[in-house]
């Protein structure tokens, strides 16, 4: 919007770049205050801070919101919200419905049961970790816990060992996919803000995430043998009650699903289809000359198309083909979208924040100062995301705020798509560091698995930190070669 930093606004007495940096610092401080102390909903907090930063840096009301009369000019709020949601909303919506069909059809249970059978009782923790890793690709973190918790309860009850030995590997797998891989909101939002192809995000997410989750599994095995936590009977009973309620809803909707277990190959095909299509499209530009074949591959591999194909495949293979009615498919899909509204609003408000930072010149001022510090962009991205995460708890807020600040640092750097994807991995890694009492995920883990706050800090909080630090270390090392 503006090529040169502004010097007006509420802090006009502070000259040039200094005033804009003061606006940025006060804006971030205000964001943390509103979320942590005032307990304002993050969507509202991001909007308030975006407006405050815009006015403080000298933007006019018209530039922020446009005019009352309709015109061709698009305001910063509109462009920021619409720009990011146009990319993110469809992907998150399709991914959410895909995960719901996999969940309700019993695909998770089938996958975990097969892995437990293959690995045996002795290696059950590794089987739980792989279950979390595979099932976590299309399913949100908290949904994955709800679906897979009964399997953890059963494994811990059967062995008589600490539930941490089985829960922590599972949580590491779920957290890794949630942090580093599309279609989860964090990496998808960052890809939209930094204009990075999702194929590269998937590729680098795998490169970074696999070593990170292996390190987390090693810590999970260590802590699981040192802290004993029994199976929480109340949560186990509550999950079973919820399962029965879902079954009753299906029967009321006229669903008569088959009792046969879901074939594991079917589950893997549904999960793997969008990943394969997107990756094929990404690398076809390198491996194939311009041709009809390449155009077909790129069309099929567009994230919107790939996820739609996977969802339709799930509808048929896991739904209609197993006796579900069309009404049941509609009910499951619609119900799955209810929790998505908050995520989309927070991501959209993060896009507004980024647009205001860009349009006001604050982002450029930050870019100039960070450039003078001498640290690589990937290090700055990780540290900023880490600080925001620890301070206010929300990984999504940490990602969208950091991506908005980092965007101008990479715009003129001539970075490759692979390098930008690694910057996103650094941001994502910082956003999961040290989950503690201000993070909803901390309490979900503690309550679902019956872990005391102190033991949750020793197990889950450290596990997330291991995942974060290892992921960043791998991303930083790989960035030296791309």
- pLDDT tens for each residue of 336-391: 887 778 778 887 887 888 788 778 877 667 667 766 677 889 999 999 899 888 87
Q: What is the mean pLDDT of residues 265-291?
A: 84
Report the Cα 324 to chain-centroid distance in Å: 30
Give Cα 362 distance to the centre of its chain: 26
pLDDT at 202: 94
Give the model's pLDDT for residue 70. Answer: 55
pLDDT in tens, 29-45: 888 888 878 888 888 98
Rounded to an integer, what is the distance from CA 226 to the centroid of its chain?
31
Which of the given ranges, 137-151, 154-168, 259-273, has the highest pLDDT on average?
154-168
pLDDT at 56 over 70: yes
pLDDT digits (tens, 9 = 90+) for 165-224: 999 999 999 999 999 998 888 898 899 889 999 999 999 999 999 999 999 999 999 999
Q: Collect all residues with Cβ–Cβ distance below 8 Å to 51 and sequence separation of at least 6.
A: 64, 356
Task: Provide the CA 253 distance to its chain's centre, in angstroms.
Answer: 32
- Average per-residue pLDDT in the chain? 83
Which segment, 119-133, 159-173, 222-236, 247-261, is predicted with the most confidence on average?
A: 159-173
- The answer to whether the beta carbons of residues 370 and 17 sit under 8 Å apart is no
Residue 181 pLDDT: 92
- What are the tokens at 5? 């930093």
Contact between residue 340 and residue 91 where contact means Cβ atoms under 8 Å apart: no
Q: Rounded CA gap, 337 and 333, in Å?
A: 7
Rounded mean pLDDT of 80-91?
81
Instruction: Answer yes or no: are the C-beta atoms of 300 and 306 closer than 8 Å.
Output: yes
User: Which of 139-153, 155-169, 404-418 reaches the highest mean pLDDT?
Assistant: 155-169
Share of the chain above pLDDT 90, in %: 29
What digits encode the pLDDT tens for the residues 71-82? 555 688 888 888
pLDDT digits (tens, 9 = 90+) for 112-147: 778 888 888 788 899 999 989 988 887 778 777 876
**Measured between alpha carbons, how far apart are the two ends of the chain, in Å?**
31
pLDDT at 69: 56
Q: What is the pLDDT of residue 67?
A: 65
> Would you tell me how many other CB atoms lie within 10 Å of the CB of residue 8?
13
Q: Which of the four pLDDT bands, split at 50, 70 and 90, describes residue 259?
A: low
Residue 68 has pLDDT above 70, yes or no: no
* Most confident stretch, 189-193, 337-341, 395-399, 474-478: 474-478
Q: Cβ(213)–Cβ(434) under 8 Å? A: no
Distance (Å, whole) CA 381 – CA 427:
5
Q: Are 160 and 119 in contact (CB under 8 A)?
A: no
CB neighbours of 416 closer than 8 A, spacing ≥ 6? 482
- Pick the closest to residue 205 from 236, 233, 182 (CA basis): 182
pLDDT digits (tens, 9 = 90+) for 422-452: 999 999 999 999 998 778 788 888 877 889 8
Residue 73 in tokens: 């000019």
pLDDT in tens, 301-318: 888 898 899 999 999 998
Does residue 320 or residue 68 have the better pLDDT? 320
Which has the higher per-residue pLDDT, 470 or 349? Answer: 470
Report percent pLDDT > 70 for the chain.
Answer: 86
pLDDT of residue 200: 95
Nearest to 389, CA basis, from 445, 432, 347? 432
**11 has pLDDT over 70:** no
């Amino acid at each position: 919007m503006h090529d040169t930093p502004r010097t007006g606004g509420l802090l006009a007495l502070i000259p040039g770049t200094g005033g804009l940096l003061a606006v940025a610092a006060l804006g971030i401080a205000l964001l943390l205050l509103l979320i942590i102390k005032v307990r304002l909903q993050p969507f509202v907090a991001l909007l308030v801070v975006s407006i405050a930063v815009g006015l403080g840096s000298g933007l006019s009301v018209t530039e922020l919101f446009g005019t009352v009369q309709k015109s061709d000019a698009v305001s910063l709020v509109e462009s920021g919200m619409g720009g990011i949601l146009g990319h993110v909303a469809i992907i998150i919506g399709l991914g959410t419905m895909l995960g719901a069909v996999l969940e309700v059809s019993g695909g998770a249970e089938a996958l975990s049961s097969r892995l437990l059978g293959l690995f045996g009782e002795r290696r059950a923790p590794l089987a739980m970790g792989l279950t979390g890793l595979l099932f976590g690709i299309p399913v949100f973190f908290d949904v994955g816990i709800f679906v897979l918790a009964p399997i953890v309860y059963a494994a811990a009850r059967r062995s008589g060992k600490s539930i941490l030995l089985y829960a922590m590997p599972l949580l590491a797998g779920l957290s890794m996919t949630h942090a580093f891989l599309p279609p989860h909101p964090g990496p998808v939002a960052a890809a939209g803000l930094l204009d990075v192809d999702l194929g590269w995000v998937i590729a680098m997410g795998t490169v970074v995430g696999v070593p990170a989750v292996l390190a987390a599994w090693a810590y999970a095995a260590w802590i699981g043998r040192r802290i004993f936590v029994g199976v929480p009977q109340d949560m186990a009973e509550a999950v079973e009650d919820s399962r029965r309620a879902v079954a009753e809803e299906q029967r009321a909707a006229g669903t008569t699903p088959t009792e046969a277990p879901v074939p594991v190959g079917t589950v893997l095909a549904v999960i793997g289809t969008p990943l394969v299509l997107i990756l094929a499209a990404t690398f076809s530009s390198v491996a194939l000359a311009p041709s009809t074949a390449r155009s077909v591959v790129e069309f099929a591999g567009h994230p919107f198309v790939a996820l739609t194909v996977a969802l339709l495949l799930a509808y048929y293979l896991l739904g209609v083909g197993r006796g579900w009615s069309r009404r049941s498919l509609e009910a499951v899909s619609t119900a799955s979208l209810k929790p998505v509204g908050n995520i989309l609003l927070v991501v959209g408000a993060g896009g507004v924040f980024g647009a205001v930072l860009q349009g006001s010149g604050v982002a450029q001022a930050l870019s100039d100062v960070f450039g003078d510090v001498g640290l690589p962009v990937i290090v700055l991205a990780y540290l900023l995301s880490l600080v925001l995460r620890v301070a206010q708890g929300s990984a999504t807020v940490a990602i969208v705020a950091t991506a908005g600040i980092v965007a101008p640092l990479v715009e003129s750097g001539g970075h490759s798509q692979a390098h930008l994807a690694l910057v996103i991995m650094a941001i994502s890694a910082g956003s999961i560091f040290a989950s503690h009492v201000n993070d909803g995920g901390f309490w979900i883990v503690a309550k679902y698995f019956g872990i005391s706050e102190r033991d949750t800090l020793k197990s889950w909080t450290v596990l997330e930190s291991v995942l974060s630090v290892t992921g960043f270390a791998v991303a930083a090392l790989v960035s030296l070669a791309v």
